Structure 1
Amino acid sequence: MIKYLLLTACIIAPFLLTAQTWNVQTSHMAFQASMFGADVDGTFKGFKGTVVFDPAHPETASISGSVDAATLSTNNSLRDRHLKEKDQFFEVAKYPRIVMKSTKIGKTASGYIGTFDLSLKTVTKSIMIPFTFTKTGSNAILKGSVEINRKDWKFGGNTLGMSDKVKLDLELNLSSPISENK
């Protein structure tokens, strides 16, 4: 009898540790760069992605997503067109999506940290993003922020006055896991 109970426990245990797939309801993807010392704020829309996450077992998580590069907005149409079209910037016709995919997620004292592959045009680099996951009832908010060096992605060339540092902010508003909706 004990042998059957142990066998059953071994079969069921992986399912109990499986992360939950969340529905992305809304997203906010923003960036901030500096040009001649003045901050330039921008956003992207068109998020598509998957969030598989269990706060108790972040090691089983998988977070991936992309944004539509053509939705870039800095509230300046001339600058937006320049950023979207020039070869040293986004080239949205040739590279329509900016993609990010987790490779590892772990717990920290203040939340979580994810290692992600960020692909911009033809360059993919690994970055670490600290983030929080706040669950309220059947909803949750995943919020993270990181500073990257644009030159790591060969982005912006030697643009005069442009800071190398770019701050990225992301927020995903999630609804109850699909498995809980059934």
Structure 2
Amino acid sequence: MIKYLFFAICIFTPGILTAQTWNVQSTNISFQASMFGADVDGTFKGFKGSVIFDPLHPESASISGSVDAATLTTGNSLRDRHLKEKEQFFEAIKYPRITMKSTKIEKAATGYTGTFDLTLKTVTKSVKIPFTFLKTGSNAIIKANVEINRKDWKFGGNPIGMSDKVKLNFELNLSPVNL
């Protein structure tokens, strides 16, 4: 009897612990930096990625994505061109994607904390990002905010008046993949 029970557990447990796969329906990826004390807000489009997440088993989750660096917009076309083209900034033609991939996700006091490898041009650094996962009916929303130091990615050079801190904001609107 025990051997049959063990066999049943081995067969059915992986299905129970399998995280939900989600389609990313829409995103809002934005950033905020400061230049001479004035905030500069911007956005990115062209998100591609995958989300596998079960709020009860975050350790089995996998979240990855990238945005198209050439879609950067700050509302100022001269600044946008400068940021997209200059060597100390995005060089969007040479480095078309900015990528993130989770390496660990765990439950936190409020929501979750993900450890992600963030790659900007040729530099990859690990970043801890707190986030929330909110189910809305059968759909869900992931929201995250984090502040990074741009110099950790050798980004932006040393212009006078530019803050080293950059705030990143992510919102992913998800729908379940029907298996």
Task: Give the TM-score band, short-chain normalised.
Answer: over 0.9
The equivalent residue for 1:85 is: 85
| Alpha-carbon distance in structure 1 between the residues aligned to 2:70 and 2:89 | 12
Distance 1:64 1:119 in 2: 11
Q: CA offsets, 1:33-68, max 9 Å, x none?
A: 000000000000000000000000000000000000
**AA in 2 matched with 1:145:** N
What are structure 1's unaligned runs of at least 5 residues? Answer: none
Q: Which residue is 2:61 aligned to?
A: 61
After TM superposition, the score normalised by the length of structure 1 is 0.97
Residue 15 of structure 1, CA deviation: 2.0
List per-residue Cα deviations over 1:42-100 (Å, max 9, x = no partner): 00000000000000000000000000000000000000000000000000000000000
Q: Which amino acid aligns with 2:118?
A: L
Matched, 1:23 2:23: yes
What's the counterpart of residue 10 of structure 2? 10
Q: Distance in 1 between matches of 2:2 and 2:129?
A: 45
In 1, Cα distance between the equivalents of 2:21 and 2:53?
A: 6
Give 1:172's aligned residue.
172
- Partner in structure 1 of residue 99 of structure 2: 99
1:62 counterpart letter in structure 2: S
State how many pairs are aligned. Answer: 179
Is residue 128 of structure 2 the alignment partner of residue 128 of structure 1? yes
1:37 partner letter:
G
TM-score (norm 2): 0.98
Equivalent residue number for residue 45 of structure 2: 45
Distance 1:132 1:99 in 2: 20
- CA separation in 1, counterparts of 2:93 and 2:159? 21
Pair 1:72 & 2:72 matched: yes
Describe the superposition over 1:111-155 as per-residue Cα deviations: whole angstroms up to 9, x where unpaired. 000000000000000000000000011100000000000000000
The Cα RMSD (Å) is 0.7
> Equivalents in 1 of 2:66, 2:19: separation in Å?
21
Q: Secondary structure of 1:93's match?
A: coil
Q: Secondary structure at the match of 1:110?
A: coil
Report the 3-state secondary structure (helix = DSSP H, G, I; strand = E; otherwise coil) of the residue aligned with 2:83: helix
Cα shift at 1:11: 2.3
- Name the residue aligned to 2:147: 147
CA distance in 2, matches of 1:43, 1:159: 21
